């Protein structure tokens, strides 16, 4: 694996709900651009939020660097060609959404009919099979590894171990800024060059819940539940993180 500090952006390969992926002049590297696009409810609710791409790229980059320092291999390589983008390792994505929770919120409360805010004894861990057409259904570890065979037993073990450590690192990171990490979603892939399991996608206010001490949300719930100005919320989060650095 070379130590890359700069690549040249190539053609657009894929436009996701929130991120756009570009090829680069290195066959094992891609450029991932965080856009201002936002969506919820499997893409049913959509909008464009000024400043979101910048916030998500900055926060996700800071966290991925922290995860690397804590022994979690990630796809992050270096800064991209603009302030919304980063260079990442090319990976074959494992079609699993891995959710860690510290406090009851969102679908957990609906599913078990409990009020929002119950603090868990320890981090909980859930898996969903990532398939929009099926509505990302829940999947057990054995169904994922032995039934659908979408992940190896060894990777699953590492995914659980890394996700716990990701949760702990991110919780401490946001605590320094007076924010509580409620829950989060992460995705993993297999590095196309090395075959190693790596953390991919992003860790941003789009993919986690963050509350301040008054219970105000600094994340996509502001969009999901029409709680206020989404652009101002994302900018406020970036300010909190940058001013307290
Ligand atoms: P949930 O309460 O809707 O299950 O979401 C739990 C956490 O995972 C929350 O921080 C939002 C995040 N998440 C995503 O980023 N993408 C998804 O598709 C889902 C279902 C959740």
Name the token pair of 95.
Answer: 């079609």
**What local confidence, expressed as pLDDT, does residue 4 receive?**
75
> Is pTM, for the whole model, over 0.95?
yes
d(CA 179, CA 79): 26
> Considering only CA atoms, which residue is closest to atom 14 of ligand 1?
207
**pLDDT value at position 5?**
77
For domain 94-191+205-228, the question of CATH label 3.30.420.40 is answered with: no
Torsion of CA 62, 207, 221, 111, to 10 degrees: -140
Best residue for ligand 1 mutational test, from 207, 210, 218, 237 (most atoms within 8 Å of Cβ) = 207
- Ligand 1 pocket (Cβ < 6 Å) reads 97, 99, 105-108, 136, 183-185, 207-209
The domain ranges of the chain are 94-191+205-228
Task: Give the DSSP letter string of 44-86.
Answer: TEEEE-TTHHHHHHHHHHHHHHHHHHTT--BSEEEE-SSTTEE
CA of 108 to the centre of ligand 1 (A): 10
Which atom number of ligand 1 is nearest to the Cα of residue 106? Answer: 2
- Backbone torsions φ then ψ of 211, nearest 5 degrees: -120, 145
| Ligand 1 centroid from CA 11, angstroms | 30
Taking a C-beta distance cutoff of 8 angstroms, is the pair 184, 174 a contact?
no
Instruction: State in Å: Cα 7 to ligand 1 middle.
Output: 32
Beta bridge partners of 9: 24
Per-residue pLDDT of the chain in tens (245 residues, 90 and over written 9)? 667 778 999 999 999 999 999 999 999 999 999 999 999 988 899 999 999 999 999 999 999 999 999 999 999 999 999 999 999 999 999 999 999 999 999 999 999 999 999 999 999 999 999 999 999 999 999 999 999 999 999 999 999 999 999 999 999 999 999 999 999 999 999 999 999 999 999 999 999 999 999 999 999 999 999 999 999 999 999 999 887 76
């Amino acid at each position: 694996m070379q130590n890359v500090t700069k690549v040249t952006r190539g053609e657009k390969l894929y436009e996701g709900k929130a991120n756009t992926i570009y090829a680069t002049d290195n066959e094992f590297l891609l450029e991932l651009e965080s856009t201002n696009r936002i969506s919820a409810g499997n893409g049913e609710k959509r909008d464009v939020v000024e400043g979101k791409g910048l916030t998500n790229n900055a926060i996700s980059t800071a966290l991925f660097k922290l995860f690397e320092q804590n022994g979690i291999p990630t796809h992050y390589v270096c800064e991209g060609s603009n302030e919304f983008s980063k260079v990442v390792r090319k990976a074959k994505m494992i079609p699993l959404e891995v959710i860690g929770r510290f406090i009851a919120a969102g679908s957990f409360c609906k599913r078990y009919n409990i009020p929002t805010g119950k603090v868990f004894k320890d981090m909980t861990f859930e898996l969903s099979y990532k398939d929009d057409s099926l509505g990302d259904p829940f999947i057990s570890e054995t169904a994922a590894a032995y039934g659908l065979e979408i992940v190896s037993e060894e990777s699953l073990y590492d995914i659980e171990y890394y996700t716990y450590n990701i949760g702990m690192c991110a919780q401490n990171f946001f605590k320094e800024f007076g924010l509580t990490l409620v829950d989060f979603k992460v995705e993993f892939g297999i590095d196309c060059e090395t075959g190693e399991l790596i953390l991919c996608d992003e860790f941003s206010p789009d993919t986690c819940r963050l509350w301040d001490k008054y219970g105000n949300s600094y994340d996509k719930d502001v969009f999901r539940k029409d709680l206020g100005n989404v652009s101002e919320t994302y900018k406020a989060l970036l300010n909190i993180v940058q001013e307290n650095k």
